[in-house]
Amino acid sequence: MKEESREEGEVVVRMSDKEWEFVKDLNVRKKVKESFDALTPRQQDYTVRHLRDSLGVEFIAGLLFTLIIMVWSLFMDAPLKELANPSYTPADERAPWYFIGLQELLAYFDPWLAGVVIPTVLFVGLLAIPFIDPKKESGIGRYTLVERPVAVPAFCFGFALWYGLIIVGQFFRGPGRMFYWPWEDRTLLKGLHAVELVNFPVIGGIIFFILYYGIGVVVPQFIFRKFCETLGVARYYIFIILFLTMMLVPVKIFLRCVFDVKYILSLQIGNTMLNF
């Protein structure tokens, strides 16, 4: 990009040679042109890139996604079931696919955590990540891993975690919410194995969370010092707390599946049990 001297009343628009080839022959009306000239050079650069690149790509992606859903709907059976019978509960009853991730979380967490707290923290955290990104200004209109080194990996991990729960709940759960491999016969009810779940001692659970958040907050400041300085104190603590909280979900699932841990921390506060 070339920098030229600006005369009085002249607005210099910074853009690449390819962008100039795209806009130089456009017949822009005076009203629109005046509005465009009122923008700062950074806003003008973003406007051109957004209209040319982002809007077109998003429109085409939307059309392709709609086409995939239409074709998929032709081959997927979605019959209406009979009226619910209050005296009979089917052995393989499951939620619709868009709620089955929450149903899968119920196997590892109490309902108030699985249905309210975890989804809220997960979605709020994913929405906040683009604003926490240290390159949020230079990365405007750009969504590659290089331009968004924090937002892209964190968002992809949270997104994959949520859809991983949906896939497990939809394709790997059978009657009685037992785990079935795809090649196993789901018409046969597996025997319930008597597994004794254990809880961490209260003091052990408290120590676990102190060490988990303490190490998770302090250690990155030494390993990724430049990154933390770029992020700033406030954005760093918001990001790391949200990230560590999101990571507690796979940690708790791992402890349940491998070590049969039911609760890391179980506290009674008044008449309320706080279980995690």
pLDDT at residue 215 tops 90: yes
Query: Where do the domains of the chain lie?
Result: 11-74, 96-275
**Higher confidence at residue 189 or residue 75?**
75
CA 84 to chain CA centroid, Å, is 34
Helices (H), the chain: 17-23, 30-37, 41-49, 55-75, 100-105, 111-112, 118-132, 151-171, 202-223, 225-231, 233-259
At residue 66 the predicted structure's pLDDT band, cuts being 50, 70 and 90, is: very high
Q: What average pLDDT does range 248-252 have in this prediction?
A: 90
pLDDT band for position 65 (50/70/90)?
A: very high
Confidence (pTM): 0.67
Closest CA to 213 of 186, 245, 239: 245
Q: Which long-range contacts (CB under 8 A, 24 or more apart) does 257-260 make?
A: 259/198, 260/195, 260/196, 260/197, 260/198
pLDDT at 31: 41
How far is Cα 20 from Cα 16, in angstroms, rounded to an integer? Answer: 6
**167-183: per-residue pLDDT in tens?**
998 888 887 778 888 88
Mean pLDDT across the stretch 32-56?
61
pLDDT for 54 beyond 80: no
